[in-house]
Chain A
Amino acid sequence: MRPVNPASRGSLLEVEDLSVVFRQRGRADVRAVDGVSFSVSPGETVGLVGESGCGKSVTSLAIMGLLPKRGVRVEGGVSFDGTDLLSLPPDKLRLLRGRDLAIVFQDPMTSLNPVVPIGTQVTEVLTRHRGLSNGEAREEAADLLRRVGIPDPSRRLREYPHQLSGGMRQRALIAAALACRPRLLIADEPTTALDVTIQAQILELLKTLVAESGTALILITHDLGVVAGTCDTVHVMYGGRIVERAPRHELFAEPRHPYTGGLLASVPRLDQPRGVRLQPIEGSPRDVIPWARGCAFAPRCPNRVEECTPVAPELLGDRHGLRCVNPLRSDQPATKAVPR
């Protein structure tokens, strides 16, 4: 039995039991995403957090219908404002993408076309989806660039991606994503390739956007610090499944899953006294067991007990969802202060 998602009232996007299986010739299938459910409401920011290989990016590609058709099986349901995106024919989906759904990727250099001026890449969306004339689209594009904090936008529109700095490129990409005032924006590690001072600018921009236009935002990141300052609800993923889900304050104040607690204890905090030894999670994300044989995190888990295998725990709990048979107790702090 799957627990009912509490935030599904008035939600814009509902992901139900989503699985993505990559088939490989001569080898066992890889279940990159394994029964993921969550929802996003207008004006809400939802964080998908996890390390490389946890399935967070594949989830976003599956929602956008951007996975290749060959060799990939997508199961479950993705419903956007009542429309099932997974069964939508490609031409209908293309109408939604760019207009109602938009995505920003990590590396702005690979997602912008290097031989096409920035302006064309932004106006393309406007002429295609909003039927603006070229002149109108140029004016609108200049306005968009100004909104995301690019100075001298009419000159920038004529420039090529390589003429812009990394932060500028990411802002241009966000401008293109915002061109049609999308109702859902997916930002996949939008600031990972950028310096912290530029990251602060981009995150501020995204926050303003959500607050002003009521855009629903899915923020995908490995950085718990980014999550702490931006997301309303946080889903922590491990091995393709959500292992813990909670409102932001609750998750950080009282992490219950040993993986969440482990992540928090393993990053040095700027505001923590020095001399506190970091508590790493043992092993590496490679050391997973298939969920069919128990909890994927069990091989690395400090709280491992016999019940962790062979039956994987369910995600239980409405407000604070947890997939663990032996969670952290509240008297077992996530950040143990062990003097060096």
Chain B
Amino acid sequence: MNTPTGPAVPGSPGGPPDGSAAPGEPLLSVRGLKVHFPIRKGVLLQRVTGYVRAVDGVDLDVGRGMTYGLVGESGCGKSTLGKAVLRLVEPTAGTVRFNGVDVAGQSREGMRRLRRHMQMVFQDPLASLDPRQSVESVLSEPLRAHGFAGDRSRRVRELLDLVGLPAGAAARYPHEFSGGQRQRVGIARAIALNPELIIADEPVSALDVSIQAQIVNLLEDLQDQLGLTYVVVAHDLAVVRHVSDVIGVMYLGALVEEASSDELYAQPLHPYTIALMSAIPIPDPEVEERRRRILLTGDLPSPVDVPPGCRFHTRCPFRQPTRCADESPDLREMRPGRKVACHWAEEIAAGAIRAAASAHDPTATEVGTPSS
């Protein structure tokens, strides 16, 4: 799975202009990406009264054949970021380079051609499959649209085989499948045109626990077989850690930490990551009893009104009287391969600053006023 060498861009018609991608350059490179949604008021004039800053300046690189995991809680902008990479929502600012090609600069037709190399797997397979389309029709549509030269029904059977569905599934309709099988159809559709990059938005969270593992394993197998590059967007850090090489943790539209999957687990550096990891239940009572849980105070602030200074300071159990409230921390490289956006990461890692909130005091959970 960690093979850094994927297949070269197929030189088929409709391939991206094989641009300036130097060897060793990441397949996907995002710089300063912002997606702001305007909030309009008024009937006639539609004045813009503010912006939802869903994605607020994100830089990231995804190497060929790697899996980049994007985690965060609802409303942190992780799904919007995934869509902005494919230009399914239009970025407000910043650049996305795929295989050396500037995605934002593409014309409509250029974008259509580019998309065969970058595909998406959605969370809810029932909602993302047309109920009136048979699986055969679902899977042959992208082949038709992109002028696939070979035998389409043979390719459909090949795809079904790749995702572990029987050939007889082609004649059936989405409602005839279980959730796990439907997600297999969604994955088959995504790989139909041999893409290089797949963005999977919560690929397993709508499935029963016993089924989740089947889909996780399938995604891993396909990556090995087809040399795919993944961006996996999910809220479940245990799943993301399992599949990803590198993980980016998002909070309120920005990356607050980025590290290799193993290092992130071994030592989370950002206070939000520390709290997030401590909140994830582990199915082992012995471990659960030994763990120290860091409870966050209050709820996620609105992305319309992002707190000044560090965006996490209103809930941060490690908040300090200086810098946090008025100075916005950059995502900086603390040591090689470890990026963190916190002024006090070194002190927290060294144990010089400790979390303030008590884990067993329910009254400590108050919005915006961390007990100190």
Q: Which residues of A contact B (CB under 8 A)?
A: 51-52, 146-149, 151, 165, 167-168, 195-201, 203-205, 208, 222-229, 248-249, 252-253, 262-271, 274, 277-282, 284-286, 340
Contact = CB atoms under 8 A, between A and B. Distances in A.
Nearest to A281: B210
Contact of B282 (A51, A146, A222, A270): A270
Interface string B349-368: 00000000001101111110
Given A165-B299, A200-B296, 8 more contacts: A51-B208, A196-B73, A197-B275, A222-B209, A253-B286, A262-B210, A267-B283, A285-B210
B362 A280 contact: no
B34 interface: no
A228 B238 contact: no
B241 A277 contact: no
A165 B284 CA distance: 30
B283 to A, nearest CB: 4
Contacts of A263: 209-210
8 contacts: A165-B300, A197-B296, A203-B281, A225-B281, A225-B282, A228-B283, A268-B241, A278-B213
Interface residues of B, number: 56
Interface of B: 1, 73-74, 178-181, 208-214, 216-217, 220, 235, 237-239, 241-242, 261-262, 265, 275-289, 293, 295-296, 298-300, 359-360, 362-367, 369
A246 to B, nearest CB: 11
Contact of B242 (A151, A197, A278, A279): A278
Given A268-B238, A268-B242, A196 B279 contact: yes
B217 A278 contact: yes
A269 B282 contact: yes
Nearest to B239: A268
Given A149-B362, A200-B279, A277 B296 contact: no
A30 to B, nearest CB: 17
Contact of A228 (B73, B235, B285): B285
Contacts of A151: 298, 366-367, 369
Contacts of B242: 268, 274, 278
A190 to B, nearest CB: 13
Contacts of B74: 195
B276 A252 contact: no
A270 B241 contact: yes
Nearest to B366: A151
B210 A280 contact: yes
A54 B57 CA distance: 45
Nearest to A146: B363
A271 B216 contact: no
